Amino acid sequence: MIVVKFGGTSVGTAAAIRSTAEIVRGRMSRGPVVVVSALSGVTNVLLSMADQAAAGKLILAVQAVEGLRSRHFAEAEELLGRGAAAEELCSEMSPLLDDLASLAEALSILGHLTPRSLDAIAATGEMLSSLLVVAAYGAAGLPAEGVDAHQVILTDATFTKAEPRPDAIATAAREHIMPRVRAGRIPVIGGFVGATGEGITTTLGRGGSDYSASLLGAALGAEAIEIWTDVDGMLTADPRVVDGARVIESIRFDEAAELASFGAKVLHPNTIAPAVRVGIPVYVYNTHNPSGTGTRITFDAPRRPVSAIAGKTPITVVKVRSSRMLFTPGFLRRVFETFERHRTSVDVVATSEVSVSVTLDQTHRLDAILMELAALGDTSVERARGVVAVVGAGLADDTDAMARALAAIRGIHVHMLSLSATGINLTIIVDADQVTPAIRRLHTAFFADAPPRGQVLQ
């Protein structure tokens, strides 16, 4: 069995969906299980529609729903032609869109959006796209069958960022997916979407379809997990930021996980963990260039000083200075307990004898956190910062690499610096508007002799 996941642009047009059908056809002998994202841009539309509805802008919200209806119906017609098949598909999609319009109306009356209703709305994108893909595959002569993600991706009730329950997922996958694959069918499941034990819709967080794919891969003991996207694989930097970014032919699990956590959007940060647990290789390929090499993510990729550079903005830095000018026993514990109590995860940490600095992605609990930290010492907050990550399994062993990294960013104000305990990730905190120049300069420093774009890092 293999799990094959197609992202938003891979299903964003009828032509792209047809390309995915051919990719799946080429894998029939390996028992493909297909995971699909919403059509490109649809999740953003759904989330802003929910905001508009809750803010009382019902007309705008309903217009957004009708825009989604037109787009999905047009894609159905393009895939199946005008006729009974397209009509049947549209009548399957219609109730989902009608429910969206009703939800919008309810929200506009309530004037309030809860994470639970947000998930019910956001999940509709993948429910719609999976219907389109099943129908398109059928028309292309592939034996596809829709599987409802609510029955398989079982999670807790942390709406908008639900925690999966791997054992329950494994049991459900054995019941709902394996028999279909054994019977020569192709299960197609919407990514990103999950459900609590009571069947209430949850989602795995933005970009979560990758995570659905790796959870399913681990649950099924798949031989490979393939992430099909709009770039040629994992690159030495985001190609939207660095012109000469090169495809990395193979990269280690730990490096890929660090890159994903520090801004390489090509993979959801949680994608790697389930695959590592069961030792399943993850591949990243380009749907628009299926004959490309792609990237293989495994345990045994070459150990390079630097494999890639990533970055993200904005992040917030919180600094706490012990008032006694000395770390008293338990100081760090109390600082971290404060973040834990507020369910706010800390990304990068640097400490000195008297102070600790941490970076945060989420700041919705920041005011409460700061009030509590004030009891421990002098606190300060720096907003509009960004983090740049230089990632390589051999980074700490290479005496030259660190110096080269710091020389490359000469003149850029560094607010914080940290080398991960595993020695594979040098994180540098700079002003948010310096992240792009820093990434470009670091890329030039480490990949300057790079052959032109399109070439591959062995």
Q: Which residues bind ligand ASP (CB under 6 A)?
A: 7-8, 37-38, 43, 125, 191-192, 206-210
CA–CA dist 258, 263 (Å, integer): 9
CB 287 → ligand ADP: shortest distance, Å?
Answer: 8
For residue 7, give the nearest of 288, 377, 341, 411 by alpha carbon: 288
Q: Which of residues 205-244 bind Mg ion (CB under 5 A)?
A: 207
Query: Which residue's CB atom is positioned nearest to ligand ASP?
Result: 209
Identify what 208 binds: ligand ASP, Mg ion, ligand ADP, none; CB under 5 to 8 Å per kind: ligand ASP
> Which of 23, 34, 35, 37 lies at the binding interface for ligand ADP (CB under 6 A)?
37
CB 415 → ligand ADP: shortest distance, Å?
Answer: 23
CB 47 → ligand ASP: shortest distance, Å?
Answer: 9
Identify what 192 binds: ligand ASP, Mg ion, ligand ADP, none; CB under 5 to 8 Å per kind: ligand ASP
Identify what 264 binds: Mg ion, ligand ASP, ligand ADP, none; CB under 5 to 8 Å per kind: ligand ADP
CB 38 → ligand ASP: shortest distance, Å?
Answer: 4
Task: Confirm if 27 and 4 have CB atoms less than 8 A apart.
Answer: yes
Could you tell me which stretch among 8-16, 211-219, 420-428, 438-446 binds ligand ADP (CB under 6 A)?
Answer: 8-16
CB 381 → ligand ASP: shortest distance, Å?
Answer: 28
Nearer to ligand ASP, 119 or 255 (CB): 119
CB 447 → ligand ASP: shortest distance, Å?
Answer: 28
Identify what 308 binds: ligand ASP, ligand ADP, Mg ion, none; CB under 5 to 8 Å per kind: ligand ADP
Nearer to ligand ADP, 275 or 356 (CB): 275
- 206 belongs to the binding site for ligand ADP (CB under 6 A): no
Nearer to Mg ion, 9 or 250 (CB): 9
Q: How many CA atoms lie within 13 A of 297 on its CB side?
A: 30
> Which of 240, 341, 343, 383 lies at the binding interface for ligand ADP (CB under 6 A)?
240
> Which of 4, 9, 69, 153 lies at the binding interface for ligand ADP (CB under 6 A)?
9
Identify what 231 binds: ligand ADP, ligand ASP, Mg ion, none; CB under 5 to 8 Å per kind: ligand ADP
Task: Confirm if 236 and 390 have CB atoms less than 8 A apart.
Answer: no
Residue 1 identity: M
CA–CA dist 383, 318 (Å, integer): 9
Identify what 57 binds: ligand ASP, ligand ADP, Mg ion, none; CB under 5 to 8 Å per kind: none
CA–CA dist 125, 140 (Å, integer): 23
Query: Which residue's CB atom is positioned nearest to ligand ADP?
Result: 7
CB 191 → ligand ASP: shortest distance, Å?
Answer: 6
CB 204 → ligand ADP: shortest distance, Å?
Answer: 13
List interacting residues with ligand ADP (CB under 6 A). Answer: 7-10, 37, 207, 229-231, 234-235, 237-240, 259, 264-266, 308
